[in-house]
Amino acid sequence: MPGKARPGKIRTSSSAKKRIRTTGKGTFAHEKAAHNHLLQQKSKKQKRLSSQALKLKGYKKAVKRLLPN
């Protein structure tokens, strides 16, 4: 159609969809780093704290832009 500009598609960020998930209440969470390898030399406290999911507070607008669908 000449004369009409079509808006571009909003793409989902591949890195964000691999790292961030939506919780049941609609907030976003991600896993902490440093819990995949070299665990023998890390303390129990460090391993325990890195295994918990983190809520993304204050980044809702930015995350929604990365994960539109």
- Judge whether 4 lies within some domain: no
User: How, if at all, do strands 20-22 and 53-55 pair?
Assistant: unpaired
- Judge whether 30 lies within some domain: yes
- Judge whether 32 lies within some domain: yes
- Judge whether 50 lies within some domain: yes
- Judge whether 44 lies within some domain: yes
Query: Whole-prediction pTM value?
Result: 0.69
pLDDT of 29 above 90: yes
Q: What pairs with residue 31 in β-bridges? A: 53
- Judge whether 35 lies within some domain: yes
**pLDDT tens, position by position, 38-61:** 999 999 999 999 888 889 888 889
**Domain harbouring 29, CATH code:** 4.10.410.60
pLDDT at 1: 56
Taken in order 44, 47, 51, 53, is the CA torsion positive or negative?
positive
- Judge whether 6 lies within some domain: no
pLDDT at 51: 86
What's the structural domain count of the chain?
A: 1
pLDDT at 16: 94
- Judge whether 7 lies within some domain: no
